[in-house]
Amino acid sequence: MSKSVSELQVLVFRLESKRYCVDIAHIDEIVDRGELTKLPDSKPHVEGVMDLRGTTTTIVNPKTVLGLDDSETGNRVIVFETEDRRSIGWLIDEVNQVVALDETDVDESVESESVHGVVRQDDEFVIWVKPSAINV
């Protein structure tokens, strides 16, 4: 009896010129960026809050957390529901696609506090980000 390899689905998205992914099990929805209200004295990566169908959603900029240049403002938001039922959104530049992976496709040798691993796709690396690394 052979061991079955578990299939995972990840959402691939772009921040600046780099591609990242996150397990779709953590994603609530993807929406267009709405009007943001700035929060005084918030952390540098918090862009503000947005009303998402009656739910106050905190919008963060993962570029700040990941140390990327922020040359353009993203217009898409990946919305996560946290374990404590808060709604957090990541401001991203572009949604690419949902990709099915086998666990063997993920190189976990680079795992860190913010990175689950790296996936090679179309001759480039896609960095698998842990949602818990980019929070408020």
Q: What is the CATH number of the domain that holds 28?
A: 2.40.50.180
Which H helix or E strand runs over 62? helix 62-66
> Does the residue 2 lie in any domain?
no
Backbone angles phi, psi at 47, to 5 degrees: -80, -30
pLDDT of residue 36 exceeding 50, the answer is yes
Token pair listed for 42? 């918030």
Mean per-residue pLDDT over the chain, rounded: 87
| Token output for 6 | 């578990």
Total structural domains in the chain? 1
Instruction: Classify residue 52: in a domain, yes or no.
Output: yes
Decide: helix, strand or coil at residue 12. Answer: strand
Better pLDDT: 113 or 30: 30
Chain length of the chain: 136
Confidence at 136, pLDDT banded by 50, 70, 90? low
The structure's pTM equals 0.86
The mean pLDDT value for 116-133 works out to 87
Higher pLDDT, 84 or 80: 80
Domain assignment present for residue 65? The answer is: yes
Residue 94 placed within a domain: yes
In a domain, 96, yes or no: yes
> For residue 92, is pLDDT > 90?
yes
Residue 75 located in a structural domain = yes
* Enclosing domain of residue 69: 7-133
Q: What is the pLDDT of residues 49-62, one digit of tens each?
A: 999 989 999 999 99
Mean pLDDT of 21-41: 93
Residue 107 lies in a domain: yes
Q: What is the largest CA-CA distance in the chain?
A: 59
CA distance 55 to 6: 34
What average pLDDT does this structure show over 46-74?
87
Rg of the chain in Å (alpha carbons): 15
Instruction: Examine residue 1 and state whether it is found in any structural domain, yes or no.
Output: no
